[in-house]
Amino acid sequence: MARSLPEGESLLVRTDFTDDAAWAQTLAAVIASYDEDMMSELTPVDDVTFDGLNPADLGDLVDGQTYVFLADTTTMTDPEHPLLVVDTSDEDLRGDGDPVFRIAPRAMAEVEANFLLASVNFEEYAASVDDDGVYRGFDR
């Protein structure tokens, strides 16, 4: 069966199915990052057909999304559950840099809202990660 991503501006795709408890913790932390009046277009995708999906696979799957959040093996095994953010915009616009960075789940609302509003771009966030490669928020 062919994989296809659901419609939506902001997708959080689970790509590792080894630990349901880690996924539940990650998703709970992501949801807790949003204020009740905050705008969100986040669509969690918990579908085993995406098991093992990696950033290189997204090119054939995205349909208008300029970024996708992945809950991958690192997300499930690291105690902080950092998500992988993938730039899926046009490769010519992306440049030669690595089109990924990680975010702590508690930073999801900030990152997603700014992506939706186009007030902070992918490169600005990628340049703001901590020494370990994880973005934890501007106000940490």
In order along its 140 residues, the chain shows pLDDT tens digits of: 568 899 888 999 999 999 999 999 999 999 999 988 776 789 999 999 999 999 988 888 888 888 999 999 999 999 999 999 999 886 544 444 458 999 999 999 999 999 988 889 899 999 999 999 999 987 65
Would you state the pLDDT for residue 112?
Answer: 93
For residues 31 and 10, what is the distance between their CA atoms, to the nearest angstrom?
13
Per-residue confidence (pLDDT) for residue 139, from 0 to 100: 66
Contacts 24+ apart (CB under 8 A), 61-67: 61/3, 61/4, 61/5, 62/5, 62/88, 63/5, 63/7, 65/5, 65/8, 65/9, 65/10, 65/11, 66/115, 66/122, 67/10, 67/115, 67/122
Predicted confidence at residue 40, as pLDDT, reads 79
Specify the pLDDT at position 1.
Answer: 54
Q: What is the DSSP letter of 137?
A: -
